[in-house]
Structure 1
Amino acid sequence: MIQGVLIPLITPFDEKERVDEAMLRKLVDFYAQASVQGLFVLGSSGQGPAMAVEERKRAAGIALDQARSRLPVIIHVGTADAESTTELARHAAEKGADAVAVVPPYYYSDHTEYEIISHYRSVAAAVPLPIFIYENPKYSGISIPPEMALRMKQEIPTIRGIKVAYGAGALLEYVRLFPPDVSVFTGNCDLFGLVPFGLAGMINPPTSFVPELCVELWRSLHERKYDKAAEAQRRVNTATRLVGAALRRYGRVALTEVFRMRGFAIKRFPKWDTKPMPDDARATLHRELRDAGLLPEG
């Protein structure tokens, strides 16, 4: 059963919008050395929906090869159609993924519940891997509330997890309804008040540049060192607040900048054309992160 800090791995690109293999391998090593509990590959942060099928296969293969069983890897394979989704799922299984994640078939936000479940059923028929529901209504246009998620699990036994984009109340309803073999992850960073009630972990993009801190929070909670966990949660909240604000104002290029602050010479992220983050805004973010103890000195 996968649980803990799962990092939503960004997919770095080169100047020609191709996957930057060397940098992707370097990032996987960074997370393995930080002892995170797993990687969530080719989701929103991983740019999966913005990439062609063959390009997604290449990125998935690189990440899985570099991880080399050092940590679990979940490959997001969701697309708007079942054929492409199952093709990506089969590839992930062949390359050794520990699980696949599937966002509901997007664009057609008026899909019926039957159609959505049928989409997931096609993945389950194609591969024996555990399936994670990628509940992301902001981008898919489709919400999977707790009761529907439970019906999906009842029809598709290989559903073993869900990433939820909601707040504490809704998260706990998923935890309450699901059987123990289903892991519920938050897309936010609020572990301190939820892990004791059964939350399996987090998949939080704004804190992906400080995996060491996220792991410290997770370990402190499980060791019941609550004073230490509370301090780690405070710092995780600060990272989420500062980087989240930059993301909302400047777009995903803000993630490029925070990774550069950690020493990763990202050439291009996201895949599409972006306006550079202004120099003064970059300097302010760097100062705020440094003053909060979230970046190395210097």
Structure 2
Amino acid sequence: MTSSTTAPPHAEGVLSALLTPYGADGKPDETALAVLIDFQISRGVDGLFILGTSGEGLLLSADERKAFTETALKIVSSRVPVVVHCGAVDTATAAELARHAAGCGANAIASLPPLFFPYTPESQLEHFTRVAQAAPDCAHYVYDNPDRTGYALGPDLVIKMIREIPNLCGLKDTGDSLARITTYLSQPDPPVVYTGNNVLLLGALTMGAAGAVSTLANVVPELFAAIVAAHRQERLAEARDLQLTVARLQAATAGLPYIASAKHLLDRRGLPGGAPRSPLPALSPEHRATLDARLAADPALLTWLRPVD
């Protein structure tokens, strides 16, 4: 569902919602970033989604986000598609970041809806129109994440926006509703849809979605790549078992600071994880012990979490 004359390039399968590593100075660490990107691409991710929720994009300044985008795209060097999240509290900043990302060679742009203040459907449509127009030759995705924004855009408004904004071609739906994803995919000319839920990858693929944008793919890209491969080759029992493994890994983080937990899992594999940027909470020693104990109780998970050679 896009009014563009040509289909936008997009990844199919799993996109890693890239975590942002920081150095001792509290700034994004380019060396660590290269390690994470090279690891994930070598282990089978189909694309990267940078500076989103997992990437702590809203905790970085506009200048930091621009520098991060430039560095990440240089490291990736066109090996996989890269979607750059450009959402911001105000329209002007989001548009500026979108223009910059497109100029750097991003394959696509995504943006959260406006935050904090109450908005009308008309003002949301105006916001997304201006952000998309800032990079008219770049594919754009709505990033609907109601748990973080406090409200859902919903299919009616998203579908209206996709029909009216030429380069708005789809969305990342971060929620737990396969039914909502199916609503998008059942349109006569369906948009490109990614689930932002780790445990819905297989279900979304089966219904015809492009794939998933996954935080845990930072940690176990091999596991997510195996789900995609099994689905493509119609080994559905295997794909189901692998998806249930993801569900157990997700459950192991329940009740704990999520981004900090994902970074701890990177540390366990010998990869640069560290702590998130303030004010996001780090894992306390008690949290770390809880997570490690949950993992130790599930030997099958430990097989996927072996340290990287």
Q: Of 63, 82, 88, which aligns to 1:79? A: 88
Give the corresponding residue for 1:51: 60
Query: Are the counterparts in 1 of residues 108 and 140 from structure 2 also a CA contact under 8 Å?
Result: yes
Give the corresponding residue for 2:113: 104
Q: Of 198, 220, 228, which aligns to 1:218? A: 228
Change (3 A) 1:39 1:207: closer
Query: Are the counterparts in 1 of residues 264 and 274 from structure 2 also a CA contact under 8 Å?
Result: no
RMSD value, Cα = 1.9
Cα deviations by residue, 1:124-181 (Å, 9 ceiling, x for unpaired): 221121001000122222311111111001110211221112311111011112724x
- TM-fit CA distance, 1:7: 0.6
1:223-238, aligned counterparts within 5 Å?
223-238=233-248
Supply the distance in 2 between the matched residues of 1:32 and 1:267 (Cα, whole angstroms).
21
Q: For 1:2, what is the secondary structure of its paired residue?
A: coil
- TM-fit CA distance, 1:238: 1.5
Give the corresponding residue for 2:129: 121
Give the corresponding residue for 2:35: 26
Q: For 1:56, what is the secondary structure of its paired residue?
A: helix
Number of equivalenced pairs: 293
Are 1:258 and 2:265 counterparts? yes
Paired letter, 2:243: Q
Mark the runs of 5 or more structure 2 residues left unpaired by the alignment: 1-9
Supply the distance in 1 between the matched residues of 2:205 and 2:289 (Cα, whole angstroms).
38
Q: For 2:296, what is the secondary structure of its paired residue?
A: helix
Q: Of 195, 200, 207, which aligns to 1:197? A: 207
Q: For 1:191, what is the secondary structure of its paired residue?
A: helix
Supply the distance in 1 between the matched residues of 2:237 and 2:282 (Cα, whole angstroms).
42
Q: For 2:113, what is the secondary structure of its paired residue?
A: coil
TM-score (norm: length of structure 2): 0.89
Paired letter, 2:28: V
Q: For 2:15, what is the secondary structure of its paired residue?
A: strand
Q: For 2:25, what is the secondary structure of its paired residue?
A: coil
Supply the distance in 2 between the matched residues of 1:280 and 1:230 (Cα, whole angstroms).
29
Change (3 A) 1:240 1:174: same
Percent sequence identity over aligned pairs: 29
- TM-fit CA distance, 1:16: 2.4
Change (3 A) 1:84 1:249: same
1:1-298, aligned counterparts within 5 Å?
1-108=10-117, 110-127=118-135, 128-166=137-175, 167-177=177-187, 179-180=189-190, 182-188=191-197, 189-243=199-253, 245=254, 248-272=255-279, 274-278=281-285, 280-288=289-297, 290-292=299-301, 293-296=303-306
Paired letter, 2:260: V
Paired letter, 2:268: M
Q: For 2:186, what is the secondary structure of its paired residue?
A: helix
Supply the distance in 1 between the matched residues of 2:269 and 2:298 (Cα, whole angstroms).
11
Supply the distance in 2 between the matched residues of 1:296 and 1:196 (Cα, whole angstroms).
29
- TM-fit CA distance, 1:84: 0.6
Query: Are the counterparts in 2 of residues 160 and 183 from structure 1 also a CA contact under 8 Å?
Result: yes
Cα deviations by residue, 1:205-247 (Å, 9 ceiling, x for unpaired): 244311111011011111111122122112122222213x1xx
- TM-fit CA distance, 1:115: 0.6
Supply the distance in 2 between the matched residues of 1:196 and 1:62 (Cα, whole angstroms).
35
Cα deviations by residue, 1:33-86 (Å, 9 ceiling, x for unpaired): 012110010000000011110011111111111100000000000001111111
Supply the distance in 1 between the matched residues of 2:166 and 2:280 (Cα, whole angstroms).
41
- TM-fit CA distance, 1:275: 4.5
Query: Are the counterparts in 2 of residues 262 and 295 from structure 1 also a CA contact under 8 Å?
Result: yes
- TM-fit CA distance, 1:273: 6.2
TM-score (norm: length of structure 1): 0.92
Cα deviations by residue, 1:106-128 (Å, 9 ceiling, x for unpaired): 111x2111110111111222112
Supply the distance in 2 between the matched residues of 1:210 and 1:32 (Cα, whole angstroms).
12
